[in-house]
Chain A
Amino acid sequence: MTVDPVLLIVIPLVAAFLVPITSIFMKGLAKWIPLLGLIGMAVVMALDFGDLYDGPVTSITGGFGPPWGISIIMTPFGGLLATGMIGVALFVMISEIDGKKRAHQTVYNTMVMMATTGAVGMVITGDIFNMFVFLEITAIAGVVLAAIPRDGHEKGLNWRGAAVYALVGGVASFLVLAGIALLYGATSTLNIYQIAERIEGVDTFVVGAAFLTMFIGLGIESELFPLNGWAPEVYRGSKWGTGSLFSGVIGKAGLLALLRISFVVLSPGLENGIVMDILLWVGAATYLFGEAAAFSSKDLYRVLGYSSIGVFGLLVASFSLGVADGIRGGTMLLLGHMLAKPILFSMMGFAGRKKKGDVPLSSLKGLIRSSPSAGIIMTIGILALIGMPPSPTFWGKYFLFSAAGSEGQWLLISILIIGTLFEAGYLGRMLFNIFDTRKERKADTLPLARGIMGALFVFFIFLIGFLPGPLEDIITFVIAELIDPLNYISWGSI
């Protein structure tokens, strides 16, 4: 059944505008309006998901078809990612239903929903300026999310994280806008498919300049090395849910935008393969940097933050190999990360909730005894993140290694192995602490909602791990989108 995908944006906007009214008349209800908005998005996505097996789901707005009006082109890749993003946001919001009163919950929930709306908008829109508008929405919601302090730290704002992200995100937005202006000036259109169609007639220097600005701008959003100095500042002082959103939703939207603009739009206008080479090695460097930094960090929030940076690098590298197996691997890694990382953030946030400031590794000590369900869920999350079979990450790394091998990329393979060793190092330390029961610890019950959401994501990890087959049809479209720009061009010209 097809529902107009524009509702993926309209429903959360209605919810957002309803929040202030509800705060006036039914104060207790206001914080749950965003949850209703997210559920609405999930319903639309569920109704449209089946259609993604036949190709993109499209829609137009304003009454004019592309390129005159703004169109929505939800490609199977965009749809898959949007589904994951909505899932992560629901995970974050539902996990906090435990009857406890938290300060700033209404604003927090609203921003979780809006960051997700912006991210979903970025991946489903067919118009490059519209993408920028959604980037702004995501970035502003991100700043507010970064500012909201953790539970128990209500006194202070996370000024550092918020200010750093506001500044750097502002620069990123400006650069993306400058790149869009260049592309519009050079092609007289804002529609992504039409820019892709006309890019070959544009001067190489102009395309190169557009790539430079887009790469820096979207590279900042997707936490690529060396553009990610802001990210640890956000992760270290904000709530666990904010960390999950930055790694699972906001950064992923930047990633897809970067991939789409690089491969579909700009690459045909530049020297053969240079875009892919740049992204491949920036990705590899990011992977190495992120995993090494995670390995040497003491604070668990930072460990998980750096680990997400590493995964962003791994994703960029595998999508940029330019072969089907690389993209197949990248898609599986993407799903694996979106499922495993929120679990780790959530359980870590639970185990370290009484700590003021940094959360040391030792706060996981004996978790399996004090709270067995949290211990088990976190263990599965850790194993899934490193790629134990059966998990999506296992399939992802399997395809990535075979793609890199068949391309003869031995340097890349060595980087992957070194990165994986770092990963095994810090994740192993976490496991060791979870199962270290030498010291008695008071029993600690995992709140029900948090446990259910954790178990649900564990279920999805096993589901995709055991049965990756049904995803293959969608992945075929992902490969088609990224390998041959003509496919996106034909989808876009509805």
Chain B
Amino acid sequence: MESKTLSARKITVAAVLSAVAVVLGATRLGFIPVPTPAGHATIMHVPAIIGAVLEGPVVGVIIGGIFGIYSFLDAGTPIFKDPLVAILPRLFIGLFAYYAYAWTKRWGIVTAVTLAAIIGTLTNTVLVLGTIVLRGYLDGKTALAVGITHGLPEIVVAVVITLPVVLAWWRVDTGRGKSDL
């Protein structure tokens, strides 16, 4: 039964983290000013990474999809008013982040979660810019420049946000040094 339907826990975690992604976007809390052409690094994709690490690839993909749909519906920039750019690449954030985590888990949780955040963010940056180039909005060189200047701060920011959340949640869960926030 587990294989065919999602457990109640997976459903609610996916829903709640998607809602966090939407709130981070709508309130602009999810945009951290950085010195790049775009002016800010987004952490809206972080819920997808966290969902993937905590509850598996399916939950990660669902959160990424809802984040994609939201960024398509509420896009302030014309490029993201293209469903191929806004939705499709976001599905892979959770997927790749989960496998990055699962394959490196034996190296310790901190390493694995850090790698999941890095891979998840890279997936977002590379695939979004890739589809932008494929759709012909920007040429390859410009996209590469945007990717490098924009991608690096975004990775750092994503790790800084993801790691404490996952570690704190698991500590609460296992009851070691329970924090009451």
Do A and B make up one complex?
no
